[in-house]
Structure 1
Amino acid sequence: PDSNKTTEYWGYRNNPATWQHMVHFTVGLGVDGTLAFPGDLSDLISGTTKWPDTGNGIPANVDDLWHAAINSRGEYFSASDPTKLTSSFQSVLQKVLSRTAAVAGIGTTNNEINTGSRVYQVIYKSGDWYGRLLSFRLDPTTGDFQDQVSGVAVSEWDTSSTSSYYGNTQNGVPASRVIISRDLRAGTPAGIAFTWTALTNYAADFNTIPYSSPATTDTNGSARVSYLRGDATNEGTGLDFRLRSTTKIGDIVNAAPVFVPKGTTFNYPDGLESANHSAFRSSAVVTGRPRMVYVAGNDGMLHGFNADYDTSTNLKVTNSGRELLAYVPGTLLPEMGKLSSKEYQHQWYIDTTPAVADAFGAFPGCASSPCWRTIMVGGLGGGGKGIYALDVTDPANFSQANANTISLWEKNSSSTGFGELGLTYGKPVITRVRAGDGSANRVWAAIFSNGYNSTSGTARLYIVNIVTGALIKVIDTSVGSDNGLSPTVPVIDPNNSEFVMDYVYAGDLKGNIWKFNISSNSSTNWKVAYDSNGDGTGTPVPIFTAELPAGTPQPITSRLEVGTHPDGKAGFIVYFGTGRYLTASDNSSTTVQSYYAIWDQGNTAITSTPVSRANLLTQTITGETPAGIRTTSSNTINFESPANDRGWYIDFNASNALGERVLSVAELSRGRLIFNTFIPSTNECLPDGEHVRMILNPRSGAALTSTPFDINGDGFACSCAADYLAGASGKRGRGRQGAPVTTLSNGDSRGPQDKLCYNDGVAIKCDSIAPGSSGIGRGAWKQLK
């Protein structure tokens, strides 16, 4: 059916080819074929009309020109006069410039392959600026894609054909969508329905004609809200709003999918709170709720989709892929009207990944006493200076009438105490901290960085109450003025037997690695852990500053990874890469960036001379094969005297990878450090650049002793002579990647295998990598599985 033309691999508007290929755009100059253009297209698709045979000098040859364009996923234009010819060429250029890409991280149901395992991919298309979320089944034994056509993974569902806003009987109508927001202009901010009648305090914004200068008003605010809910009545007609694709979801560029299971993977120990977490895990609400996938889009909405499947057949169910909730942050409401304008110039709205975890407190969804709930907290990325929290415990209660129970709180740079919030790129962390009031009380909190482009430009850490959003503490590093704190990582001191955070690590745009001490019962004593005097009275001092030998700072924009010391020594190893990709000028930067591992010994006060490059072991890039396999050195680290190495580093200075940098967090997995680098490009043939999937020994930064990749191309990484390449540690691919996603599978008859999933253009792939071994553990707090 024509409804599948953009989603099925055979659809004439869907181009699944990731290999080099040619797309034909053809123009008929004042000639006509035997078919009516474009009227016969629907009959050609349904099969009621056939393509005619060609011959010498017959009109059917014109039809073949049209046929060639469709088969190559291009387009045919019929131009009978100079004006139409000009218009046709303009349309060709528009189509060429509009492209489909996938650059965000991949989501997964879990890291260990079993029945029900899925991976989730997001795709966007520029020009039309729409987005799609796709679900792929994994074979429970091998970890391979369960559904394939000619070796290409095929999704089990795609939101471009399953979402609830197409006006058909199966999926409902726009008015039935559950879309909520938060009224930040009310005397007491509250969750509200995203409807014209509920948006009274924002009526003037929606009645303002987008991009008018000076600002001009009309009475079309209600129609604009309906448009944003998915109503196509005025698209290109009536009020002449911006035309959209069949799917009304906006582009999803930098936000990765987040999976929330039926049941819960958050296994907190009992006894933490007055109600046991095990009782919550086994409750009817949690065990009976549908699986969900959440993703943020640049249509100004966080979308929640039903990701359920039949456990007996492992097949999707009727409502799989259907939207159950959308949230429009109140911070963005004044900007939402622009999306309806034909003059729309693409901008960011919600362009970062939210966090989700179970937490305990007196939430609005609790009956009478504090209880456990599943909470989501997210920022806006480049879309704004704000952060929001939602209660996503029970999708059965998702309704616009329950907006004030679902929407817990929202803060932005206009909120009291949050004036130094910048663009909130960092993924928050939901965890348990000391109440900070001098008592022995503990509370659940959201910890997040202030982001970039704040008022003063210094790097700051925020800790807020998870129930109310009330500020518990903000810690200023006092380092600015064009600075900002990057995503945060809280950790528990190894000597602390209680489940409560002691320290927080984070980087900044100046290349500094900061450690914050929040181990006191009084928040007055929460501060940067190290200072110039070594006693808490001096100027804050970072653990390390990433910079080149000439003193050029290397910015840190990705989340750090923190692990225990590989030799069982005190302190933590902090792993991170450097680089930024925040503004247009960043694309052309060729400043050498690096990957570092820094040993924070934790028991010695750092003074005005923190760890430097001179204290680190050097690893180097040694080469790259024609197949794109990178090799690196294997120098030996010595944490003992006389070397006293305090970590290691490797510079990304390969001549064929100028501007290579790290933009996403690494993964410590079974004795391996896995991370993605990004190599930007000004080549129109590689508009999304390239990446290198790196796998190193986290202890020393050396290449693994056994090759982790499938070198001989047989689909199996055997860690044997057939796949051996000395120093192999990286594999080049197309496009920008998010955080690495590894899945641990049983493999096949040849032996166990792990899978490393990534985007290859718009295709999703999971390559075999040799299974890791037990080894370095994470020290950073993570949801307990």
Structure 2
Amino acid sequence: MGSSSSVAMPSRGGPGAPSRRHVRGCISPRLAPNLALAAAAGLALCCAVGLSMGSAHPPPVALDDHPAALACKLHRTVQGPPVAIPTAPPPPSGTGTDSVPSGAGIFRVTYDLAAGSGTLHRLPLVQGEGGDARVLAPLWDAAAVLATTPPAARRIFTSHGDGPGAGTTVPFDWAWLSPSQQEALDRPPGGTAGDGLGPDRVAWLRGERTLEGGTFRARAGLLGDAVHGTPLYLAAGANLHGDAAYAAFQAGTLRRPPAVYLGANDGMLHAFDAGTGAELFAYVPAMLVPVLNQLPAPGYTHRAYVDGPLAAGEALVRGAWRSVLVGAPGAGGRGLFALDVTDPAAFDPASSASLGALWEFTERDDAAIGHVMQPAQVARLQLRTRHGKPEYRHFAVAGNGLNGRGAAGALFLLALDKQPAERWRLGGNYYRLDTPPGDPALPAGLGAAAPVTDAHHVLRHAYAGDLQGNLWRFDFTRNAPWRTDPAMQPVFVARDADGRPQPITQPPRIVHAEGGGYLVLFGTGSLYGREERDPAHFVPQSYYAVYDDPAATPGRPLDRADLLERRAEGVAGGAHVILSGRAASVGAGDRARGWYFDFADGATSGERSLAPGVIADGKLVFATVVPGGDPCADSASRTYVLDALAGLPADASGAPLPRGVTGVLVSDLIHGPPMLLPGRRTLAPRDPTGRIQVTRDTTIVRFGTQGGPVDGGTSSAGWPAGRLAWREVANWRQLHRKAAQGQRP
């Protein structure tokens, strides 16, 4: 797993826009987090992506080409959500003037859809005494560095898609491609016969610029746009296990170059040196080779390629520990791929330091897999027990996403140690856990799973939501084969006050609840299709915290009537929200079974929650999207900071308030999770008992589609330190006398 625990401890206190022409009837670019909706009558999209939805039942979801709301006020470029570079927090201070630690920064993507180009920058991040954050000039621009790299010097790879050597990692050069891959690249888009330009197409895809402007289209740059791709930063391995083999592996990761990974719509997954911005390698998923001939065409219409989520973790693969990256094309294709990125500078199957591409999994392997839009998890599961000892296997765990075949959602477990030439076998090297069929009139599909692991980092449970508002728990406490009970029921069903299903499109967040069990936190809403942007179809969306105890006797699915209601009231001008409710314990026993609130004026504003929240110091921080009732108006966002257990704002000491301010509004689209920066830590003077009160501030920074960081406020948490308690020693005189005589007490 990528971290030592997948469940947060919410203890209260305690350390631990694209270039485009003005269009008629504009439709709000940056909201839908995913792509490929054909332009609809009367509403012109900035780019329509051709994507076959198949004949799945229930009805498919139409995916938009641009993740945000298109404003009539046009901008040249759009900025994607940034990724922070992890750093150590600043030391405690009595003055409270600490800034962000040295080396802090972000990786940020910008893209121009009309040009089909993108950039990736590394930007230093500084923080003033007042807590405001700002970014400095970029240290490097990966697109600019890539432009100076000779095409022949680029290390680009793919996999043989079929036939002899299927699954083998090979250089992305004409001579190395399989016959079927060569045939696909030798045809013009829509053609059935070869035109002899296959080698030239491959050269163009590798970055050859001399062919542009004539036979093939001219490019603004070699790095493609990353509309939905978020950079993934990977440095040293996590310290998860205690055996010698893992310790040696973890020590080796300290010597590898930190890398940042980015999928783009140039058909490649790129790995860049985090220090210099130089490309270390690129990978072309074999599943996309059949449609790569569209990219060089002079009449190219933008479509998705490698435009989905990325995730990384550590796994025992073929007898050795490896760093593994699991990616998805998103709307570019139905499936997933896995790479060995233990040493990104040596990514090459010819190198002993890398296994190259581990596998690809597509709808040809299982028709239930769809467009995966949320990150997978790398998980360790107990396979069997032999001679009294458990045996483990590592899997990529992912929901089936959107538009998979079938009437239900499915959770996939894909073995990371599958051999390249080995065929996928259900119940052998992969497992599929189906949920019961839902309403056939509504789209189906399971989102990302939130894992719950034990002290040995073994997956025991996973929670995931679907498009029909069901929250599911999957049980892995027993050995393989894992399957779901046909009578399986959801833990919770999200419906608004009028009984309409509320889609869950984000991975939940999980915290330990009081008295045992877990509190599962998630928001509802989606922005995939045109109808969801139409104010006439706005419906109220909500945020939920649902209690669940896997050890308890199963009962009926919970609904909002079982939870504590919090009321969100908008204020004049809409600058913030007042959230109120009865403070009460949430958890096991006689405690409430969770809390919820409906976003204020949701049926008018269309406010919804698309990105997962962040848990820090017992607080839940999350952002929402507010597209508004005017499709040509700028979109906005709100940021909420709540006590995770109470579902209410908290005061400076961390105590929940029965009525407090939250939901701060910003007039830009915040389509990613908030970024939390370690702020100052203040030590108060010792009190007469020797106790010290430590206060830690966390600065909340939000990044929109335009401009720099937006201040999201500060969250504070306090906890006692120093001498926490006194104990009376009744025989102190006797002990003192013995100590003076040199005797042991």
TM-score, scaled to structure 1: 0.72
Does the 8 A contact of 1:106 with 1:738 survive in 2?
A: no
Q: Give me the whole-angstrom Cα distance separating, in 2, the residues matched to 1:700 and 1:667.
A: 16
Q: Which residue in 2 is equivalent to 1:227? A: 204
Q: Which residue in 2 is equivalent to 1:115? A: 102
> Residue 359 and residue 766 in structure 1: after superposition, are their counterparts in 2 closer, same or farther (change >3 A)?
farther
Counterpart of 2:490 in structure 1: which amino acid?
P
Q: Which residue in 1 is equivalent to 2:478? A: 520
Q: CA deviation at 1:693?
A: 1.6
Q: Give me the whole-angstrom Cα distance separating, in 2, the residues matched to 1:434 and 1:575.
A: 27
Q: Give me the whole-angstrom Cα distance separating, in 1, the residues matched to 2:122 and 2:301.
A: 30
Q: Give me the whole-angstrom Cα distance separating, in 2, the residues matched to 1:143 and 1:14.
A: 33
Does the 8 A contact of 1:352 with 1:381 survive in 2?
A: yes
Query: Where do 1:470-509 residues align within 5 Å?
Result: 471-480=429-438, 481=440, 482-492=443-453, 497-509=455-467
The 10-residue stretch of structure 1 (135-144 or 477-486) with the greater mean CA deviation from structure 2:
135-144
Q: Give me the whole-angstrom Cα distance separating, in 1, the residues matched to 2:558 and 2:633.
A: 38
* Matched-pair identity in %: 27
Q: CA deviation at 1:110?
A: 4.6
Q: Give me the whole-angstrom Cα distance separating, in 2, the residues matched to 1:173 and 1:377.
A: 28
1:543 aligned to which of 486, 491, 503: 491
> Residue 96 and residue 562 in structure 1: after superposition, are their counterparts in 2 closer, same or farther (change >3 A)?
closer
> Residue 642 and residue 498 in structure 1: after superposition, are their counterparts in 2 closer, same or farther (change >3 A)?
closer
Q: Secondary structure at the match of 1:277?
A: helix
Does the 8 A contact of 1:251 with 1:298 survive in 2?
A: yes
Q: Give me the whole-angstrom Cα distance separating, in 2, the residues matched to 1:287 and 1:661.
A: 41
Q: Give me the whole-angstrom Cα distance separating, in 2, the residues matched to 1:157 and 1:287.
A: 23
> Residue 267 and residue 590 in structure 1: after superposition, are their counterparts in 2 closer, same or farther (change >3 A)?
same
Q: Secondary structure at the match of 2:449?
A: strand
Check if 1:377 corresponds to 2:326: yes
Quick one: higher RCO (CA 8 Å, sep 6+), 1 or 2? 2
2:614 aligned to which of 663, 667, 691: 667
Q: Give me the whole-angstrom Cα distance separating, in 2, the residues matched to 1:582 and 1:190.
A: 35
Q: Secondary structure at the match of 2:557?
A: coil
Q: Give me the whole-angstrom Cα distance separating, in 1, the residues matched to 2:665 and 2:681.
A: 21
Q: CA deviation at 1:126?
A: 1.9
Counterpart of 2:242 in structure 1: which amino acid?
D
Q: Which residue in 2 is equivalent to 1:158? A: 141
Q: Give me the whole-angstrom Cα distance separating, in 1, the residues matched to 2:402 and 2:163.
A: 28
TM-score, scaled to structure 2: 0.76
Does the 8 A contact of 2:450 with 2:508 survive in 1?
A: yes
Q: Give me the whole-angstrom Cα distance separating, in 1, the residues matched to 2:364 and 2:130.
A: 47
Does the 8 A contact of 2:82 with 2:106 survive in 1?
A: no
Q: Which residue in 1 is equivalent to 2:687? A: none
Does the 8 A contact of 1:301 with 1:328 survive in 2?
A: yes
2:251 aligned to which of 282, 287, 291: 282
Superimposed CA distance per residue, residues 637-675 of structure 1 (whole angstroms, 9 cap, x where no aligned partner): 344899742111111242696221111111111111011
> Residue 153 and residue 578 in structure 1: after superposition, are their counterparts in 2 closer, same or farther (change >3 A)?
same
1:269 aligned to which of 241, 259, 278: 241
1:615 aligned to which of 562, 568, 585: 562
Q: Give me the whole-angstrom Cα distance separating, in 1, the residues matched to 2:633 and 2:611.
A: 20
Q: Which residue in 2 is equivalent to 1:441? A: 391
1:207 aligned to which of 160, 176, 186: 186
> Residue 14 and residue 598 in structure 1: after superposition, are their counterparts in 2 closer, same or farther (change >3 A)?
closer
2:291 aligned to which of 332, 335, 350: 335
Does the 8 A contact of 2:540 with 2:602 survive in 1?
A: no
Q: Give me the whole-angstrom Cα distance separating, in 1, the residues matched to 2:540 and 2:665.
A: 19
Q: Secondary structure at the match of 2:254?
A: helix
Q: Secondary structure at the match of 2:444?
A: coil
Query: Where do 1:300-319 residues align within 5 Å?
Result: 300-308=267-275
Q: Secondary structure at the match of 1:377?
A: strand
Q: Which residue in 1 is equivalent to 2:77? A: 100
> Residue 694 and residue 105 in structure 1: after superposition, are their counterparts in 2 closer, same or farther (change >3 A)?
farther
Does the 8 A contact of 2:409 with 2:466 survive in 1?
A: yes
Q: Give me the whole-angstrom Cα distance separating, in 1, the residues matched to 2:160 and 2:130.
A: 45
Q: Which residue in 2 is equivalent to 1:388? A: 337
Q: Give me the whole-angstrom Cα distance separating, in 2, the residues matched to 1:269 and 1:143.
A: 40
Q: Give me the whole-angstrom Cα distance separating, in 1, the residues matched to 2:495 and 2:369.
A: 26
Counterpart of 1:195 in structure 2: which amino acid?
D
Check if 1:761 corresponds to 2:705: yes
Check if 1:260 corresponds to 2:234: yes
Q: Give me the whole-angstrom Cα distance separating, in 2, the residues matched to 1:450 and 1:693.
A: 29
Q: CA deviation at 1:383?
A: 1.2
Does the 8 A contact of 1:631 with 1:730 survive in 2?
A: no
Q: Give me the whole-angstrom Cα distance separating, in 2, the residues matched to 1:472 and 1:398.
A: 25
Q: Give me the whole-angstrom Cα distance separating, in 2, the residues matched to 1:298 and 1:143.
A: 40
Q: CA deviation at 1:768?
A: 6.2
Q: CA deviation at 1:224?
A: 1.4
Q: Which residue in 2 is equivalent to 1:91? A: none
Q: Secondary structure at the match of 2:717?
A: coil
Q: Give me the whole-angstrom Cα distance separating, in 1, the residues matched to 2:417 and 2:477.
A: 21
> Residue 705 and residue 539 in structure 1: after superposition, are their counterparts in 2 closer, same or farther (change >3 A)?
same
Q: CA deviation at 1:301?
A: 1.1
Does the 8 A contact of 1:694 with 1:731 survive in 2?
A: no
Counterpart of 2:115 in structure 1: which amino acid?
D
Q: CA deviation at 1:683?
A: 5.3
Check if 1:770 corresponds to 2:714: yes
Q: Give me the whole-angstrom Cα distance separating, in 1, the residues matched to 2:338 and 2:381.
A: 18
Counterpart of 2:614 in structure 1: which amino acid?
E
Q: Which residue in 2 is equivalent to 1:193? A: 171
Q: CA deviation at 1:572?
A: 0.6
Check if 1:359 corresponds to 2:308: no
1:251 aligned to which of 225, 231, 239: 225
Q: Give me the whole-angstrom Cα distance separating, in 2, the residues matched to 1:683 and 1:627.
A: 16
